[in-house]
């Protein structure tokens, strides 16, 4: 099913610079998005992987890796390929906010306290979701601590996604910095919980679930 399909994947964190040496970021390693890129490329998909700063190597020789730093750069790289892509997978942990201003030189510690004004970043999944066409399939991720299912369902609607992969921070071994993950896949009409597995195996489960849902949508 994935052979010859064009796939856009976002992965990793974004870094939002404060000055030339400092940034606001998060602990995402990019492992889940890279595992998905590798599995899809192995199945013949044409993958563009737009990744924030990670320590990971190219996951497969045929993956087109586009390295970016900020949410704005990630959005621009996604926009360049989104219309052509059949499948969008938003696995990146995009920083929700960025500093309003970036200093051109290193900020010195002259003051006793220091306040940073932050402004909202573009929501890549939601913005592209507004232009999604019926043949395109979009997958988002959600990392929640409370009211997980309700929040995941909210993201399906708000971002026009076909599927949300939910990780709960309450589950040991799930989420950031682990080689394992424990997910629940939330679709408009179903919820399926999976056991703790290696991220490569989790990627296979996600792809199987995409296949099933996508086939259903194409029949409609």
Q: Which of these segments, 18-26, 53-61, 91-99, 175-183, binds ligand CTP (CB under 6 A)?
A: 91-99
Which listed residue (26, 64, 151, 160) is catalytic?
26
Considering only 92, 163, 186, 202, the residue that binds ligand CTP (CB under 6 A) is: 92
Considering only 140, 182, 199, 207, the residue that binds ligand CTP (CB under 6 A) is: 140
Q: How far is residue 207's CA from residue 220's CA, in Å, rounded to a whole number?
A: 20
With b meaning 16 or more CB within 10 Å and e meaning fewer, what string describes 135-159? ebbbbbbbbbeeebeebbbebbeeb
* CA dist 148 → 45, 130, 152, 155, 166 (Å): 31, 24, 6, 11, 8
Under the binding rule (CB under 6 A), the answer on residue 69 touching ligand CTP is no
**Annotation says 167 is catalytic:** no
Under the binding rule (CB under 6 A), the answer on residue 155 touching ligand CTP is yes
Q: Which two tokens stand for residue 207?
A: 């792809």
Under the binding rule (CB under 6 A), the answer on residue 167 touching ligand CTP is no
Number of Cβ within a 10 Å radius of residue 12: 29
Q: Point out which residues bind ligand CTP (CB under 6 A).
A: 10, 71, 90, 92, 94, 96, 121, 123-125, 140-143, 155, 159
């Amino acid at each position: 099913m994935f052979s010859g399909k064009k796939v856009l994947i976002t992965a990793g964190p974004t870094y939002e610079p404060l000055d030339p040496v400092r940034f606001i970021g998060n602990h995402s390693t990019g492992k889940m998005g890279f595992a998905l890129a590798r599995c899809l490329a192995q199945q013949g998909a044409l993958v563009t992987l737009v990744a924030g700063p990670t320590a990971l190597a190219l996951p497969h020789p045929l993956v087109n890796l586009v390295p970016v730093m900020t949410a704005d750069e990630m959005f621009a790289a996604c926009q360049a390929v989104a219309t052509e892509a059949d499948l969008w997978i938003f696995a990146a942990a995009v920083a929700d906010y960025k500093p309003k201003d970036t200093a051109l030189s290193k900020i010195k510690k002259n003051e006793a306290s220091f306040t940073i004004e932050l402004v909202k970043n573009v929501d890549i999944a939601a913005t592209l979701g507004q232009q999604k066409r019926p043949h395109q399939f979009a997958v988002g991720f959600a990392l929640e601590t409370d009211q997980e299912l309700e929040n995941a369902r909210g993201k399906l609607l708000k971002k026009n996604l076909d599927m949300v992969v939910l990780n709960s921070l309450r589950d040991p071994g799930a989420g950031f910095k682990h080689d394992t993950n424990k997910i629940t896949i939330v679709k408009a009409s179903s919820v399926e919980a999976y056991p703790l597995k290696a991220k490569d195996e989790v990627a296979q489960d996600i792809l199987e679930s995409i296949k099933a849902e996508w086939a259903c949508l194409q029949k409609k």
